[in-house]
Amino acid sequence: MSGQAAGRRATVVGVGYSSVHRELGVDTRPLVVDACVAALRDAGLTPTGIDAVFEYPGVGSQSAVNVQRLLGIGDLKAYGDLGGSGPSGLAAAMAAVAAVESGSCDVALVFRSVNREWGQQSGRVEVPPAGNAAQFTLPYGDFGGIIPSMGMRKYRRLAELGGSEEDYGQIAVNARRWAAMYERGVLTKPLTMDDYLSSRFVAEPLRLLDCDYPVTGACAAIITTAERARDLAGQPVTIDSVAFGTGSRPDWTFSDDLLFGGTIGCARRLWEKSSVTARDVDVAELYDGFTHITISWIEALGLCGIGEFGDWVDGGKRIGPGGALPLNTNGGQLAAGRLHGLAFLTEAVQQLRGDCGQRQVPGARVAVVANAHGPQCGAMVLTRE
Amino acid sequence: MGKPAPIPDQASAFFWEGAARGELLVQRCEDCRAFQYPPTVVCEKCQSRDVRPTRVSGRGTLYALTVMHQAFLPVFAEDLPFTIALVDLDDAPGARLLANIVDADPGGLTAGDPLEVVFEPRGDYAIPQFRPAAAQRAGAA
């Protein structure tokens, strides 16, 4: 960051995962401990070395201080539960970057823990009260998280920018290709375009296979200064640039830009602060809670022009294994399960360290990571020294 | 159990009360003349507190729609498939409402199509809904 002492440049020095579960009723507490301990081991650290904890809360999560206690970490210099309105799980890492670079803390643990129940809200019997913001949506049956909004985003994109349903299908088909090479892959059976096009509508034109797959699990990362990283065992990955975005009328429903939300401004700020450009990206890990989100980020980040995704993706070749721009190299949330955002960061770190085995992108030195959409956008550029 | 009825607040009471009378009212700023929806406590353009309910024609244009094939609330299951849409009001630029599309096959609609408001009783109030504009319906018949 400009004006930032080089020694305090935020760096990722460890990542870790728990096991990932498809069944209901799994307690996330041991899983979040597993993920955090794995990240600490990866960094060559013990809990006593941590002085900050950040997480994105929600169904199935544990608060930062609960995890502090479960891990026996001492008094924290910085902490936060950054939920609700932030850029999904990446929000925790973005807060850690700010805290580390400002000098508020030196070594931050960040995690996201979620359960499958969070993604099983359909058919819920209780009708919540249609007050506050819900008075303008709930009476119309607009319920189910952001699913109706995503249906309208896909509809409006097809109406305004053209393209085809196959464009969306390329994101879904690509996810399975990569997940087949990932040890934590959940949906590893290949998907054909016909499978995608015959999957049922949830909120037409949004199809079931446009939506990510709910799981129970946790992932974690350790963020510290470049100076401190030099004393640690692992290969550090530099956080080159960080940016947020909300759009000018931030709302999931009543937005002035349903197609891109905050992605455009976020991407512009990201590249303004970065030491590299969109042309330098070797691997992209872009949120795929819904396929529309991934396409938005590809265009907003300038990996191709606005409305040009369909041609650019080249029948899927460009984003698949061996392609010019490998995308979501662990299968993303569509095929490796919804660990809700932070796993895009941990996968990017593993790619830049060359730890990805058969799914490794050869010689990857620059990764771009993005989370969420609409009013909750966040992104990072990561580089290997 | 019936479908959820809106629970008005101080800023929105006029909207639901108007709908109950069969009138579509949206906020207009007396200082900068901007329209806005949903109703809130100040003008989001100039922060004036002088935002007044203003009656509009109820004519609108389809911005986007989605056809729900899964009812996330069981009380809507009998309506499946039903259509949720965003509608730009013709005489209140900047005001975009969410509503259901009624009396239409959504497959026959395209973004930009003209719509008109109708009111559906709900609890103590009514909720604005939209259907294809009269000319459109006549043309289709």
Contact list, A207 vs chain B (CB under 8 Å) = none
Establish if A375 touches chain B: CB-CB under 8 angstroms: no
The pLDDT value given to residue A144: 85
Of B98, B112, B111, B108, whose CA–CA distance to B137 is shortest? B108
Q: What digits encode the pLDDT tens for the residues A92-131?
A: 999 999 999 999 999 999 999 999 987 666 556 678 899 9
Distance from CA of B81 to the nearest CA of A (A): 9
The pLDDT value given to residue A1: 43
Give me the mean pLDDT over the B127-131 stretch: 98
Range A1-116+214-234: architecture per CATH = 3-Layer(aba) Sandwich (3.40)
B36 pLDDT higher than 80: yes
- Name the helix (H) or strand (E) containing A153: helix A147-161
Counting residues of chain A whose pLDDT is more than 70, the rounded percentage is 97
Q: What digits encode the pLDDT tens for the residues A177-231?
A: 999 999 999 999 999 999 999 999 999 999 999 999 999 999 999 999 999 999 9
Distance from CA of B73 to the nearest CA of A (A): 5
Test mutation, B63, B84, B117, chain A, max A CBs within 10 A: B84
Q: Transcribe A224-256 into DSSP letters.
A: EEHHHHTTSSS--EEEEEEEEE--SS--SSS-S
Q: What digits encode the pLDDT tens for the residues A32-51?
A: 999 999 999 999 999 999 99
Q: Which of B66, B72, B73 sits opposite A152 (nearest CB)?
A: B66
B137 pLDDT higher than 90: no
- Count of other CB atoms within 10 angstroms of residue A58: 17
The pLDDT value given to residue A3: 42
Each domain of chain B, given as residue ranges in start order, spans: 13-140
Pairing outcome for strands A52-55 and A107-114:
parallel
What's the token pair of residue B35?
Answer: 């329209």
The three-point CA angle A190-A194-A198 to 5° equals 110
Counting residues of chain A whose pLDDT is more than 90, the rounded percentage is 91
Q: Transcribe B43-105 into DSSP letters.
A: -TTT--S-EEEEE---EEEEEEEEEE-S-SSGGGGGG-SEEEEEEEETTSTT-EEEEEB-SS-
The pLDDT value given to residue A4: 52
CATH 3.40.50.10860, applies to A145-212+239-385: no
Contact list, B72 vs chain A (CB under 8 Å) = 121-124, 141, 143-144, 147
Counting residues of chain B whose pLDDT is more than 70, the rounded percentage is 97
The pLDDT value given to residue A83: 83
The pLDDT value given to residue A133: 95
Q: What digits encode the pLDDT tens for the residues A282-334?
A: 999 999 999 999 999 999 999 999 999 999 999 999 999 999 999 999 999 99
Cα–Cα dist A202/B131, whole Å: 22
Q: What digits encode the pLDDT tens for the residues A238-284?
A: 999 999 999 999 999 999 999 999 999 999 999 999 999 999 999 99
B67 Cβ contact list (under 8 Å, min separation 6):
A151, A201, A203, A204, B81, B82, B83, B106
The pLDDT value given to residue A6: 64
Give me the mean pLDDT over the B36-48 stretch: 98
Each domain of chain A, given as residue ranges in start order, spans: 1-116+214-234, 145-212+239-385
For residue B30, give the 3-state DSSP assignment: coil
Give me the mean pLDDT over the A325-347 stretch: 98
Of A341, A223, A322, whose CA–CA distance to A282 is shortest? A322
The pLDDT value given to residue A5: 57
Contact list, B38 vs chain A (CB under 8 Å) = 133, 135-136, 254
Cα–Cα dist A307/A72, whole Å: 50
What's the token pair of residue A360?
Answer: 């490794």
Q: Are B20 and B124 within 8 A, CB to CB? A: yes
Q: Which of A131, A141, A254 sits opposite B38 (nearest CB)?
A: A254
The structure tokens 């209780």 sit at A126
Of A38, A34, A20, A65, whose CA–CA distance to A222 is shortest? A38
Contact list, B66 vs chain A (CB under 8 Å) = 148, 151-152, 154-155, 203-206
Cα–Cα dist A314/A113, whole Å: 35
Question: Exposed, middle or buried by CB within 10 Å (0-12, 13-18, 19+), for A18?
Answer: buried
**More confident position, A256 or A5:** A256
Of B73, B72, B81, whose CA–CA distance to B102 is shortest? B81
Count of A–B CB contacts within 8 Å? 128
What's the token pair of residue B83?
Answer: 């259509």
Establish if A354 touches chain B: CB-CB under 8 angstroms: no
Cα–Cα dist A167/A157, whole Å: 11
Give me the CATH code for the B13-140 domain, please. 2.40.50.840
Q: Would you say the pTM of this structure is higher than 0.90?
A: yes
A183 Cα distance to chain centroid: 19
